[in-house]
Chain A
Amino acid sequence: KQEVTQIPAALSVPEGENLVLNCSFTDSAIYNLQWFRQDPGKGLTSLLLIQSSQREQTSGRLNASLDKSSGRSTLYIAASQPGDSATYLCAALSGYSTLTFGKGTMLLVSP
C-alpha cells in the first residue's frame, strides 16, 4: 500500500526566503506526482504535476522535482511571499486513478 510522508509538518519563514518542501513515497510504481495548495477552509488547487517519465516541472517561482528511484519529490519555492502561506500537499497517483496524499506542510511566510 502506498504511503506518502511530508517533511516538515510546519514551516515558518520570513518573506523573501527560498524554501524546500519534501515528499517521500514508499511505492515507486507511480504514474505521476502532484503538488497541491490548500488555503484554510478551501479545496485543493493544483500547482504542479510531474509525470513519472519527467524529472521536474516549473511554474513561476515554483519548481518541483521527482526522483522515482529514491521515492522522493521536492517543491522549491523561490523568493517566498506572505501570499504563499497555505498548506502544501503532495499526492502520488498509483494503480489506475487513486491519489495517495501526504498530511501536508503548513507554511507561514511572515512579512
Chain B
Amino acid sequence: GAGVSQSPRYKVAKRGQDVALRCDPISGHVSLFWYQQALGQGPEFLTYFQNEAQLDKSGLPSDRFFAERPEGSVSTLKIQRTQQEDSAVYLCASSPGGNEQFFGPGTRLTVL
C-alpha cells in the first residue's frame, strides 16, 4: 500500500499485560513519529525517529513506554505493564524529511 499502515487496528489488554504496536511507514520516509490520542482530545507527541535514531522521546509518559526502529523502517511501540490510563488511540506518522507528516489509521488500545 501507498500509505502508513498500523497493526493491530484494535487491541484489548488486561491491566498489567505488555503490548506491542506496529507501524509501517511510507517507503523511503526518513522520519517517523508516534502520537497518543485520548478520547475527545487532540493527538499528543510521544517520540520521533530519524532513520533508526530516536532523536526525541520527551513525550513518552513513563518508562513503561518504549519505542524502536532498528532498521530505519518499521517501528514498534511497546507498553509494559499496561494501565487503564494507557487506553487511547496510538497514531503513527511518517515524513520524507520535509514538513508534512502522513498519518496511519491508528491502533485503538483498550486496557481493562
Q: A: which residues have CB within 8 A of B?
A: 4, 31-32, 34, 36, 41-46, 49, 51, 89, 91, 93, 96-104
Closest A residue to B107 by beta carbon equals A43
CB of B43 closer than 8 Å to a CB of A: yes
A43 adjacent to B42 (CB under 8 Å): no
5 extra A-B contacts, CB within 8 A, seeds A32-B99, A42-B106: A36-B103, A45-B103, A89-B43, A91-B42, A97-B56
Interface size in chain B (residues, C-beta < 8 A): 25
Q: Find chain B residues with CB under 8 A from A46 CB.
A: 100-103
A41 adjacent to B108 (CB under 8 Å): yes
Q: How far is the CB of A93 from chain B (nearest CB, A)?
A: 6
Cα-based distance from A104 to B31 in the complex (angstroms): 25
A43 adjacent to B99 (CB under 8 Å): no
A4 adjacent to B100 (CB under 8 Å): no
Interface residues of A: mostly helix, strand, loop or mixed?
strand
B42 adjacent to A102 (CB under 8 Å): yes
Fill in one digit per residue for B32-70: 1 if any A CB lies within 8 Å of its CB, else 0: 010100001111110010000001100000000000000
Cα-based distance from A32 to B98 in the complex (angstroms): 11
**Of the candidates A45, A51, A101, which one forms a contact with B42 in the assembled complex, judged by CB atoms under 8 Å apart?**
A101
Q: Find chain B residues with CB under 8 A from A100 CB.
A: 45
Q: Find chain A residues with CB under 8 A from B40 CB.
A: 103
Q: How far is the CB of B37 from chain A (nearest CB, A)?
A: 8
CB of B72 closer than 8 Å to a CB of A: no
Q: Find chain A residues with CB under 8 A from B43 CB.
A: 44, 89, 91, 99, 101
Q: Find chain A residues with CB under 8 A from B99 CB.
A: 31-32, 49, 51, 93
